[in-house]
Amino acid sequence: MARWKALPEELDPQIGEFTSQLRRLVDQGGLSVAALADRTGYSRTSWERYLNGRLLAPKGAVVALAEVTGTSPVHLTTMWELAERAWSRAESRHDRTMEQIRITRARAELGDFGGGTGTTTAEAPPAPPPSAGPPAGGHRVVLLFLAGAVAVFVVLGTVFLLTGRGDGRGSREAAGPSSPAATSAAGLPPGVKCVGVGCTGKDAEAMGCSGDLVTTARTATVGAATLEVRYSRTCGAAWGRITGAAPGDRVRVTAGGETRRGDAVAGETYTYTPMVAVGRAGEAEACVTLASGRSGCTK
């Protein structure tokens, strides 16, 4: 098969070693990426990302690769666990960077807003001629008092508008962006079509929430199936997925009182649910009921 592309230079060494091991197994098995997709149940696009270091393969894909290449999964999954920890550390650094960027933007917006009000408060009525009132020193005191009073009223008015005193609407609107139910898609990466509750009930791949944007938040093994909670921080959503599925197996994901289900049908070795909105990965739980009657959930 074609030579592999060089792995990204910024890739963590543990992730690079794990990815190289996956490549060696694929080469030794004489598998093309298309054949690998057919035999493992993971798409060709996903395997291209896994094998080029752009996305960490989920545990289910690793186990499936071991099966089709006749490799013991024990040592391979141990390497995967080390790589997953390294990937999580890298994601945490990325999240902190993005959070700092959002804070900087928010401060800039608030600074602009404050600058606008400052312009208004700076406008003070012209002082009367010295002959028409008290001495100049008295005028300065009066002007300072008036400017201070105007500034106080502006600040109070701003607080009133932002908190919505009187009708409660402002407080509800102010609370909206911090909730996982936020629906604005502004500022999202190209290809991402939803965020928060806007993703609920929709397909993760169709909405651009999978691929490089997804991680495995939780996992469990039930019978021959691997159960996962898949999470996209960018989309603010999670979904359940099973690999090694048999026709009739059912998976569901639950978060914030919302439940979504997916059913495995003949010819499928994996299936996943529609998405539910979450504020963080730990809020979602996935459960599976196998056609054999056995069931289980992620911890």
The pLDDT assigned to 135 comes to 45
Dist CA 14 CA 56 (whole Å): 11
The pLDDT assigned to 165 comes to 43
Task: Summarize the confidence of residues 211-227 as an average pLDDT.
Answer: 84
Nearest to 289 by CA among 231, 255, 237, 246: 246
Phi then psi dihedrals of residue 49, to 5 deg:
-70, -40
Query: In which band, very low, low, confident or very high, does the pLDDT at 205 lie, cut at 50, 70 and 90?
Result: confident
Using the structure block, give the residue that is written with the tokens 């979450």. Answer: 278
Q: Which residues contact 41 (CB under 8 A, 6 or more apart)?
A: 64, 243, 244, 245, 268, 269, 270
- 212 or 134: which carries more pLDDT confidence? 212
At residue 173, does pLDDT exceed 60? no
Structure tokens at 261: 């289900």
The pLDDT assigned to 144 comes to 59
Nearest to 99 by CA among 278, 255, 275, 280: 280
The pLDDT assigned to 299 comes to 77
At residue 185, does pLDDT exceed 70? no
User: What tens digit of pLDDT does each residue of 118-169 get?
Assistant: 444 444 455 555 544 444 445 555 555 566 665 656 555 554 555 444 444 4
Dist CA 219 CA 205 (whole Å): 20
Task: Summarize the confidence of residues 84-108 as an average pLDDT.
Answer: 72
The pLDDT assigned to 95 comes to 59
At residue 191, does pLDDT exceed 90? no
User: What tens digit of pLDDT does each residue of 223-274 get?
Assistant: 888 888 999 989 999 999 888 878 888 999 999 888 999 887 765 677 889 9
At residue 114, does pLDDT exceed 60? no
Q: Do residues 273 and 281 lie in contact, with contact meaning Cβ atoms separated by under 8 Å?
A: no
Mean residue pLDDT of the chain comes to 76
Task: Summarize the confidence of residues 28-37 as an average pLDDT.
Answer: 89
The C-alpha angle with vertex 111 and arms to 109 and 112, in degrees rounded to 5, equals: 65
The pLDDT assigned to 89 comes to 79
Torsion sign across C-alpha atoms 47, 52, 57, 60: positive
At residue 221, does pLDDT exceed 80? yes
